[in-house]
Amino acid sequence: MVEVIIAGLMAGALILYALLGGADYGGGVWDLLATGPRAREQRQLIADAIAPVWEANHVWLILVLVILFTAFPPAFAAIGTALHIPLTLMLVGVVLRGTAFTFRHYDDQHDQVQRRWSLIFSIASIITPILLGVSVGAVASGNIRAPEAGGSFIWPWLAPFPFAVGFLALALFAFLAAVFLTVEAGDRALADDFRRRAIWAGIAVFVTAGLALLLARRGAPIIWEHLLRGRWAAPLQIATALAAIGAFAALWTRRFRLSRLLAAAQVSLILAGWATAQFPWLVVPEHTIQSAAAPDSVLRPLLVALLIGALVLAPSVYTLMRVFKGVKS
């Protein structure tokens, strides 16, 4: 039982990473695509929105990783072995995104210097989520095998389904970023720029999600089966659809705070839907939550540590958001 709770907390941390860290990557996408008379203002808004929070948001990923290797060591070993290539490339993206963003902020404000850092920052912001999605897709695909069992280092991830998940991740992050930025924009014209972008990104989410779903039939049969017939599938999918429609409607009518809430709900529900569809597997089909779990003598103290850590973390993150994101108490 305790291992299921910890797996749930891990999924929760991953959802928070997608909502917070994901939006920072999405900001990089809109930095690259900044156009029109307000391109400079768009870039400035993105930079101001990301700067104080991106490092804290990034730690959710570390937390997911640490929970995975503490609570489910064989699953971590299997993922590290089979997905060496996409994860290594993702790390290069993580390094370039973070450092280029910081260097841009502290380097000379000449246009040419700034453009160079912007380019590295935004391209890394696009590649990293794709590779993260590819890795998640490969874990779900059911094609990861131990090397002793003839597992390949390439084919589990270099396939249509994982890449569809990669593009879905990129679309989700870009969507979240655009919606969040409508709230943070100071004036109406700038908010409308990101409203338009949010609508387009929402359509991209719809298309890539549909594509991933279609490809799942052959690319991730177990997930496909669970998405169709799982006990939680129908209610989650209906809730996701309602959140998506609501987010669109709120964007359309310029109720940006409401759309921020609904977009976050939509993304959380999509990820929760995937997590429940993959249950009880951690790495389909070789490692389940049960089979990969560390002994209870490890899991119980870990659970306590996570709960105490959450008690420390919650007020800290709340403070951060209150100071910089105007979250009302």
Partner 1 sequence: MSDLLAARSQMAVSLIFHIVFAAIGIAMPLLMVIAEWRWQRTGDEEYLTLAKRWGRGTAILFAVGAVSGTVLSFELGLLWPRFMGYAGAIIGMPFSLEGFAFFTEAVFLGVYLYGWGKVSPRAHLLSGVAVAVSGMLSGIFVVIANAWMNTPAGFTLVNGVPTDIRPFAAMANPHAFPQTLHMTLAAYAATGFAVAGIHALLLRRDPNNGFHRKACGIALAVGAVTAVLQPFSGDIMAKAVARNQPVKLAAFEGHFETRRGAPLHIGGWPDETKGETRWALKIPKGLSLLAFNDPDAEVRGLNDFPRENWPPVAIVHLAFQLMVACGTVMALVGLWATWRRWRHPVSWPASRRFLLALALSAPLGFVAIEAGWIVTEVGRQPWIIYGIMRTEDAVTPMPGLIVPFLTFTVLYLLLGAMTVWLIWRQVIASPRGARHG
User: Residue 66, Cβ neighbours under 10 Å: how many?
Assistant: 16
Residues with Cβ < 8 Å from 245, sequence gap 6 or more? none
Q: Which of 4, 39, 62, 327 binds partner 1 (CB under 8 A)?
A: 62
Q: Say which residue the tokens 């389909």 belong to.
A: 284
Q: Which pairs with CB-CB distance under 8 Å and at least 24 residues apart come from 45-49?
A: 45/181, 45/184, 45/185, 45/186, 45/190, 46/177, 46/181, 47/101, 47/104, 47/105, 48/184, 49/180, 49/181, 49/184
Please name which of 133, 150, 94 lies closest in space to residue 270, comparing C-alpha atoms: 133
Among 10, 23, 45, 94, binds partner 1 (CB under 8 A): 94
Identify the bridge partners of residue 281 per DSSP, sorted by sequence position. 288
Task: Please tell me the count of residues contacting partner 1 according to CB under 8 A.
Answer: 61
**51 lies in the binding site for partner 1 (CB under 8 A):** yes
Q: How many CB atoms lie within 10 A of CB 234?
A: 12
Q: Which of 36, 80, 280, 285 binds partner 1 (CB under 8 A)?
A: 80
Site for partner 1 in 306-325 (CB under 8 A): 306, 309, 312-313, 316-317, 319-320, 323-324
- Rule CB under 8 A: say whether 65 interacts with partner 1: yes
Q: What residues are paired with 259 via a beta bridge?
A: none
Q: Which of 77, 183, 233, 261: binder of partner 1 (CB under 8 A)?
A: 77
**Can you say how many angstroms the Cα of residue 37 is from the centroid of all Cα atoms in its chain?**
31
Q: Is 8 in the site for partner 1 (CB under 8 A)?
A: no
Cβ-contact 171, 22 below 8 angstroms: no
Q: Which helix (H) or strand (E) holds 281?
A: strand 281-283
For partner 1, the closer of residues 234 and 305 by Cβ is 305
Interaction between residue 302 and partner 1 (CB under 8 A): yes
Q: What is the distance of C-alpha 109 from the center of its chain? A: 31
The residue (of 241 and 323) whose beta carbon lies closer to partner 1 is 323
Residue from 4, 36, 153, 285 touching partner 1 (CB under 8 A): that is: 153
> Under the criterion CB under 8 A, does residue 58 sit at the interface with partner 1?
yes
Binding status of residue 200 toward partner 1 by CB under 8 A? no
- Please pick, from the candidates 67, 127, 243, 272, the single residue that binds partner 1 as defined by CB under 8 A: 67
Residue 75 or 171 having the CB closest to partner 1 = 75
Contact 285, 142 (CB under 8 A): yes
Applying CB under 8 A, the residues found at the interface with partner 1 are 51-53, 55-56, 58-59, 61-63, 65-67, 69-71, 73-74, 76-81, 84, 87-88, 91-92, 94-96, 98-99, 101-103, 105-109, 147, 153, 294-295, 297-298, 301-302, 305-306, 309, 312-313, 316-317, 319-320, 323-324
